[in-house]
Each structure stands twice: as C-alpha cells, then as structure tokens.
C-alpha cells in the first residue's frame, strides 16, 4: 500500500536519502541541487569523473550529507557496489532519480544496430538495473520509496532520426508501468518525467542549426526547457505531495505534444 501522508505543499525532503543517477550535470545536476535545497542527503552517481567534486559543492552549499560515486549503469557489479555504498553512507535509500542518458541520431535505414543496442543498454536496461537494485533495498527497509525516471517527448510522437532513442525510451515507459504496478504493494511509487528538448549537453548534441530553430517554432512555448523546470517536476514526484500518483509519465514539453 502507498500510504496517505498529510500534504503540506512544502515539497519537503528533510532527512531523506536520495540517489541521483546521471547527477554529474544537466537535468541530474539540477535535480540533485533541488533535492539538497529541500533537505535531502544526496548521492551523486554518474560515469563521469566529476562526481566527488559535484557532491562536495552540494554539501558546502546546502549543508546536507553527500557522496559522489562513479558508476556505469551498464555494469551490474558497479551498480550493486554503488547501491551498497549509498546504504553505508546514509543508512537507507528513500528516493531514486534515475536519469542517465545516451543519444546518437541517425535515420532508421542507416543506423548501426550497435548504436541501437547502446541506447537500449543505457536508457532502458541500465535504468532498470538501478531501479531493481534500489527497489530491493527499499523493500528490505519496509517503508516505501520514490523512483522517478526521465523518459522523453519521443515516447509520444515520432521525431526524425530518433529511432534508437525512441525505442529505448518507449521501453522505459513500459518498465515504469510494470514496476509501479508490482511495487505499489511495498509503498513504492514509480513515475517518469517526459521533457521536450532541454538546454543541456544532450539537448545541444541533438538539436543544432535549422532543426533547432524549426523545433523551437513547433513548441507552443517557443523555447526549449531549462534543467530546473524538469527538476521541479522530478521533485514533485519525489515527495509525499504526489503519493497518489504512480505509473505516470508526466509531460513537461511547453505544449509540443498537444497536437
Ligand atoms: N536534454 C534533452 O533535450 C532531453 C530531453 C528529453 C529527455 N532527456 C533525458 O534526460 C536525461 C538527462 O539528460 P541531460 O539532458 O541532462 O543530458 P546530460 O548529457 O547532461 O546528462 C546525462 C548524464 O548521464 C550520464 N551517463 C551516460 N551514460 C551513463 C552510464 N552508462 N552510466 C552512468 N551515467 C551515464 C552522463 O555522464 C551524463 O552526466 C537523460 O535520460 C535524457 O535522455 C533529455
């Protein structure tokens, strides 16, 4: 059962233990900062080398406990070691923001199958690997938890040259629904946030020149999203204010998928 907790509208995370995978920058970096601002202790997990530095900055800025752990989500032993290290550091895990990501654009007739498989390995199987390891820890703890994964607007509509990415993110939406269904019994909410293009390294990589200006034109809000706007949706799905929402994929797209 996912319990009712009195809703204050404060979006408070004081004393919670959170993991942000993909926390080395972009949407993950903003999410980690938002969690820390709301009082959570935060583990920064990423395959990048900057994890300890990001964790240290966050602790200094917000006075919470942090830890930085380098981990490749395609490696089972690294994921298991990382989850164990977070439990060692914080005693428990209450929240998982699961947002590692990979994109390589190519038309469906030309894309290399290895590139398709890499999308699936990171964006779908890698994300599930972390969900499974963390959910097992949450189930052991016996007091529920929150899992939020970043999906994409590409779940809802076809976008040119996105076949590998879309296959991986559509798989993620299915995973979110099944995990939400099965883990509600343990008080665990599992949700997705589906952004439009966001101004990050990945957003810049995929959208340049004419495709960028055409895309901005096609978004009713007439701009790309900023990382804190996505982190705010993740925060909502990470606190008690959203206890009655599970298995959802919350679109944050400036209206792009209305049509
Ligand atoms: N930027 C966009 O336009 C956009 C739009 C929709 C969805 N998303 C999704 O948002 C999430 C965050 O992306 P972002 O835009 O902040 O880009 P980003 O490139 O800044 O962040 C992605 C992070 O994932 C990490 N990562 C990649 N492979 C990994 C692996 N194997 N193991 C561990 N970490 C790994 C990277 O090091 C990086 O820090 C991704 O899942 C992405 O697919 C992004």
Give the per-residue pLDDT at 63.
Answer: 97
- What average pLDDT is seen over the chain? 97
Asked if residue 205 has pLDDT above 90, the reply is no
Render pLDDT for 156-177 as a digit per residue (tens, 0 to 9): 899 999 999 999 999 999 999 9
**Ligand 1, pocket-test mutation among 33, 202, 212, 226, most atoms within 8 A of CB:** 202
At residue 200, the pLDDT reads 93
Nearest to 45, CA basis, from 94, 97, 87:
97
| In the chain, % of residues over pLDDT 90 | 95
Give the residue, out of 26, 30, 253, with the most ligand 1 atoms within 8 A of its beta carbon, to mutate for a pocket test: 26
Q: Among the atoms of ligand 1, which is closest to the Cα of residue 48? A: 37
CA 225 to ligand 1 centroid distance, Å: 14
Per-residue model confidence (pLDDT) at position 206: 86
Among protein residues, the one whose CA lies closest to atom 17 of ligand 1: 202
15: pLDDT strictly greater than 90: yes
Alpha carbon 13 to chain centroid distance?
17
Please return the burial class of 183, using the count of CB atoms within 10 Å of its CB with bins 0-12, 13-18 and 19+. Answer: buried
Residue 103 pLDDT: 96
What integer is the mean pLDDT of 199-227? 93
Atom of ligand 1 nearest to the CA of 165: 43
Residues with CB under 6 A from ligand 1: 22, 24-28, 46-48, 71-74, 99-102, 122, 126, 150, 152, 195, 197-198, 200-203
Q: Which residues are catalytic?
A: 165
Residue nearest to atom 38 of ligand 1 (CA): 22
pLDDT confidence of 187, banded at 50, 70, 90? very high
Evaluate whether 218 touches 43 at the Cβ level (below 8 Å).
no
- pLDDT confidence bin for 259, thresholds 50/70/90: confident
Output DSSP code: residue 235: H
The H or E element spanning position 191 is: strand 188-195
Among 20, 27, 155, 253, which is best to mutate for testing ligand 1, by the most ligand atoms less than 8 A from CB? 27
- Per-residue pLDDT tens for 26-53? 999 999 999 999 999 999 999 999 999 9
pLDDT band at 240 (very low <50, low <70, confident <90, very high): very high
Mean pLDDT of 150-157: 93
Would you give the distance in Å from CA 77 to the centre of its chain?
21
For the residues 148-162, what does the mean pLDDT come to?
A: 94
Distance 201 CA to ligand 1 centre (A): 8
3 C-alpha to ligand 1 centroid (Å): 32
Cβ(239)–Cβ(38) below 8 Å:
yes
Is 0.85 surpassed by the pTM of this model? Answer: yes
How far, in Å, is the centroid of ligand 1 from the Cα of 46? 10
């Amino acid at each position: 059962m996912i319990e009712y907790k009195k809703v204050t509208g404060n979006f408070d995370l004081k004393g919670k233990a959170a993991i942000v995978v993909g926390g080395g920058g972009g949407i993950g970096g903003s999410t980690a900062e938002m969690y820390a601002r709301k009082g959570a202790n935060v583990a920064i997990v990423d395959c990048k080398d900057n994890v300890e530095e990001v964790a240290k900055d966050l602790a200094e800025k917000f006075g919470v406990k942090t830890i930085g752990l380098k981990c490749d989500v395609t490696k089972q032993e690294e994921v298991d070691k990382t989850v164990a290290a977070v439990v060692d550091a914080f005693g428990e895990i209450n929240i998982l923001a699961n947002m590692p990501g990979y994109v390589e654009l190519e038309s469906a007739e030309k894309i290399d199958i290895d590139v398709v498989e890499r999308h699936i390995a990171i964006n779908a199987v890698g994300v599930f690997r972390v969900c499974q390891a963390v959910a097992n820890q949450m189930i052991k703890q016996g007091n529920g938890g929150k899992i939020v994964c970043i999906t994409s607007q590409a779940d809802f509509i076809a976008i040119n040259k996105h076949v590998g990415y879309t296959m991986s993110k559509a798989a993620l939406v299915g995973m979110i629904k099944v995990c939400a269904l099965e883990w509600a019994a343990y008080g665990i909410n599992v949700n997705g946030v589906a952004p439009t293009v966001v101004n990050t390294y990945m957003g810049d990589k995929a959208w340049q020149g004419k495709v960028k200006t055409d895309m901005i034109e096609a978004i009713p809000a007439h701009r790309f999203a900023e990382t804190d706007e996505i982190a705010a949706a993740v925060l909502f799905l990470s606190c008690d204010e959203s206890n009655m929402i599970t298995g959802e994929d919350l679109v944050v797209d400036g209206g792009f998928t209305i049509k």
